[in-house]
Amino acid sequence: MNDLEKKTESAPEATIQPACSICEEDGEVRLSVEMPGVEKSGIEVSMDKNELIILGKRSDRTPDGTYLIRERREGSYRKRFIVDDTIDRDKIEAVMEKGVLTLKLSTKETAKPKKIEIK
């Protein structure tokens, strides 16, 4: 049993690069980031100049007993994206649902395609 316990000792907290999808549709960019095990209160989304930063922390409750196998770990999520000047930074929306953080980034009106009338 001691060998098993040695193999399953707690590892130090890891930084997790979450999987994401980015989709552009109807003048907005939709960004979905998988963050299973993270509560809404454990997520921080911020803009720093042209960088969108997503941080999250997943905690795993420690039972009163001793782990025999422990594959789930505590960890911090971190994902960064460069946002160009076509995105309206004042209209970014974020929703967390079923372990997926979805951000809607609206395109500025001046950056949207525009038809030019021929006279």
Specify the pTM: 0.73
- pLDDT higher than threshold 70 for residue 95: yes
User: Could you report the per-residue pLDDT of 36-60, keeping only the tens digit for each?
Assistant: 888 888 899 999 988 999 999 887 6
- The answer to whether residues 89 and 114 touch, using CB atoms and an 8 Å cutoff, is no
More confident residue, 84 or 70: 84
Q: Could you tell me which residues come within 8 angstroms of residue 61 by beta carbon, excluding any fewer than 6 positions away?
A: none
**pLDDT score of 22:** 94
More confident residue, 113 or 101: 101
User: Could you report the per-residue pLDDT of 5-40, keeping only the tens digit for each?
Assistant: 434 444 455 678 889 999 998 888 999 999 888 888
Q: Which fold has domain 2-7+14-111?
A: Immunoglobulin-like (2.60.40)
- pLDDT higher than threshold 70 for residue 3: no
